[in-house]
Structure 1
Amino acid sequence: MKKKMSLFLIAALAGTLLAGCGDKGTTDTTVVEGDDTATATGEDHLSRIKTAGKITIATEGVWSPFTYHDPDTDELVGFDVEVAAAIAEKLGVEADFKEVPFDGGLTGVSTGTFDMMANGVDVTEDRKGTYDFTDPYAYDHAVVITLATSEKITSFEDLAGLTTANSAGSTYEAMGKEYGATVSNVDTLGETMTLVLNGTVDATINANTSAQDYFKSTGTTELKVAAIDPEVTNYAIPLAKGNDNDTLREAINKAIAELRQEGKLSEISIKYFGADITKE
């Protein structure tokens, strides 16, 4: 047994020496410094996606009209869903959607559970520290939604000392806290609106596009947009930070540019919003 083990160790050592000499017939096991996701095969993220034939996409499925279920067919649909599917088609792979809460989607992207996220994720300085973002594919504004009869909120600053409701981990949750509000976390857009309607919270911060869609689809006149953030919200796709994603980000940026040039982004936007939000 000892003799066999010694021979094994000698063979393993010899293989290591050959690899160190750059033998092209051996597998490259070198991990590049600063690239935590480098693999033994030397493939980067885009190569692994193409090998798998699919790209896993985190999305909530509860935020109309970005990502939600068709009430008649229960099919996952929405602006972000169609944009992400079109990007996957450009990459030559299948779009594999995984429905998770907003914060779970972002965490899953950073840990490698998901390849990307399509969920109206806006680019912020804080998120840039954790994710590498693609080019923006749509633009929006954040708004404060209150009861139509409320007069106490006419600006974001008026939220100080009041209560809001938003998805955990969302930019809107962060904005509420930034302006001094106490934020209750809920999972869906409908829940945030319900909490405002029944007086549980004073307001919710959300995308203007989603607010207008909610007003239109429900026909409610009990809610209103009380304040609009003049700063433009840039929606982009977050990827895990690191050079493992360099070629994937470039490929997605190319796909976005082609979809914009072909008019496909505009077409999808008009389908879901009745307006083109893909141009700044």
Structure 2
Amino acid sequence: MRTRNALLAAAIAAASLTACAAPDETPKAAQAAVQAGTPKINDGPDQNRIVPAKVDAIAALVPEKIRSTGRLTIGVGAAGAGFPPLAFTATDNKTLIGSEPDIAVAIAGVLGLEPDLENTSWENLFIGLDSGKYDVGASNITVTELRKQTYDFVTYRKDELAFEAKKGVDWTVTGPKDVAGKKIAVGSGTNQEKILVEWSKQDVADGLPAVDIKYYQTNQATYLALGSGQIDAYLGPNPTSAYHVAVAGETQIIGTYSGAGAGLQGKIALTTKKDNGLVQAYKAALDELQKSGDYTKILQRWNLTSEAVDAAEVNPPGLPIDGK
């Protein structure tokens, strides 16, 4: 049985690869996000998920081909260690849990369909969407213009990165000037490193000290350095930091910003094969979850309320194909 610390280490490693969020993200102005009242995360198999009652008018939007089966097959690309708190296996090593399964299961409830969660690899998730094996993908999938050529999207979370610092610090990150002269850890070769290097150059151009960028071989070493005061903060994917904040209770998020760039808020979306007739049903179901408050409750369970969207959108502008 995996320990909570092992899950956390796996989560950080997986998220640092930015396989689910688009890889060519650039920073936008950060938004301070100091968290309080952090929830205790339940990583056991008994999740007591929110399953709303069927809404007939919304269920009627589901194509008859799917409605007649009585099931909604949900693909989640979380094979292996997964990526807490988004999608990973519980302490029983088999039950798929996390915010992504929770959102998908709640949508199935509104649609009056039995959820069939299937844990697969990232690559096979898209193969399954293409073939129709999966009715929907719920797996931290970022909307991109390239993906929109093949898939339809309904957004339900922001695509965010975060600065994580020792609990109790009194500074926040809202832009490059806030990290000038600070010791900030980041994973080598990641998009986060690219962002931090760009911010450091901006600081120097503005007559401020460069960022003192630090690298560590393991996630454990990074957090030991953070706890001992050897570094001021760690820059990584927001969901990973949110999970660490909730599980370890020793750190806090002091700033978040979009992974899509200065002019665009990146969005995470439910994903389905283009023009299969399901996207409007998903949109209506998400609208219902927001109206009822269940959407907020699900994000609260996983310490992800900072990534909540005001409204679900169908096929909004995504990360550009050329990365510019």
TM range (shorter): 0.5 to 0.7
Going from structure 1 to structure 2, the CA distance change for 1:110 and 1:275 (only over 3 Å counts) comes to same
In the TM superposition, residue 194 of structure 1 has moved relative to its aligned partner by 7.5
Contact between 1:110 and 1:240, CA under 8 Å: does it hold in 2? Answer: yes
Matched, 1:164 2:189: yes
Structure-2 residue corresponding to 1:184: none
Going from structure 1 to structure 2, the CA distance change for 1:219 and 1:259 (only over 3 Å counts) comes to closer
Q: Which has the larger radius of gyration?
A: 1
Contact between 2:96 and 2:119, CA under 8 Å: does it hold in 1? Answer: no
Structure-1 residue corresponding to 2:209: none
Report the AA paired with residue 240 of structure 1.
K
Structure-2 residue corresponding to 1:124: 144
Alpha-carbon distance in 1 for matches of 2:307, 2:288: 16
Going from structure 1 to structure 2, the CA distance change for 1:93 and 1:109 (only over 3 Å counts) comes to same
Deviations 1:51-87 (A, max 9, x none): 2211111113411111122226852211111110011
Structure-1 residue corresponding to 2:267: 234
Matched, 1:49 2:66: yes
What SS class does the counterpart of residue 239 from structure 1 fall into?
strand
Structure-1 residue corresponding to 2:314: none
Contact between 2:162 and 2:255, CA under 8 Å: does it hold in 1? Answer: yes
Higher relative contact order (CA 8 A, sep 6+): 2
Going from structure 1 to structure 2, the CA distance change for 1:216 and 1:113 (only over 3 Å counts) comes to same
Which 10-residue stretch deviates more, 257-266 or 268-277? 268-277
Deviations 1:92-125 (A, max 9, x none): 1111111112232123212322111011212112
What SS class does the counterpart of residue 146 from structure 2 fall into?
helix
Deviations 1:116-163 (A, max 9, x none): 1011212112211221112x1222413588xxxxxxxx79xxxxxx94
In the TM superposition, residue 216 of structure 1 has moved relative to its aligned partner by 3.8
Report the AA paired with residue 235 of structure 1.
I
What SS class does the counterpart of residue 270 from structure 1 fall into?
helix
Alpha-carbon distance in 2 for matches of 1:249, 1:258: 14
Matched, 1:109 2:129: yes
Matched, 1:267 2:287: no
Going from structure 1 to structure 2, the CA distance change for 1:93 and 1:124 (only over 3 Å counts) comes to same
What SS class does the counterpart of residue 52 from structure 1 fall into?
coil
Deviations 1:22-50 (A, max 9, x none): xxxxxxxxxxxxxxxxxxxxxx9832221
The runs of 5 or more residues in structure 2 that have no matched partner are 1-60, 165-178, 181-186, 198-215, 223-233, 311-324
Report the AA paired with residue 269 of structure 1.
L
In the TM superposition, residue 258 of structure 1 has moved relative to its aligned partner by 0.6
TM-score when normalising by structure 2: 0.50
Aligned residues: 199
Structure-2 residue corresponding to 1:91: 111
Contact between 1:142 and 1:233, CA under 8 Å: does it hold in 2? Answer: no
Give the structure with the higher percent helix. 1
Going from structure 1 to structure 2, the CA distance change for 1:129 and 1:177 (only over 3 Å counts) comes to farther
RMSD, aligned α-carbons:
4.0
Alpha-carbon distance in 2 for matches of 1:218, 1:102: 28
In the TM superposition, residue 259 of structure 1 has moved relative to its aligned partner by 0.6
Matched, 1:253 2:283: yes
Alpha-carbon distance in 1 for matches of 2:290, 2:161: 23
In the TM superposition, residue 255 of structure 1 has moved relative to its aligned partner by 0.5
Contact between 1:123 and 1:235, CA under 8 Å: does it hold in 2? Answer: yes
Contact between 2:192 and 2:236, CA under 8 Å: does it hold in 1? Answer: yes
What SS class does the counterpart of residue 84 from structure 2 fall into?
coil
Which 10-residue stretch deviates more, 224-233 or 69-78? 224-233
Percent identity for Structure 1 against Structure 2: 23
Alpha-carbon distance in 2 for matches of 1:50, 1:227: 40
What SS class does the counterpart of residue 106 from structure 1 fall into?
helix
The runs of 5 or more residues in structure 1 that have no matched partner are 1-43, 146-153, 156-161, 166-174, 182-192
Report the AA paired with residue 137 of structure 1.
Y
What is the correspondence of 1:37-76 to structure 2 with a 5 Å cutoff?
46-61=63-78, 62-71=82-91, 74-76=94-96
Contact between 1:56 and 1:95, CA under 8 Å: does it hold in 2? Answer: yes
Runs of 4+ in 1 over 6 A off after TM superposition: 176-179, 224-227
Contact between 1:54 and 1:96, CA under 8 Å: does it hold in 2? Answer: yes
What SS class does the counterpart of residue 91 from structure 2 fall into?
coil
What SS class does the counterpart of residue 278 from structure 2 fall into?
helix
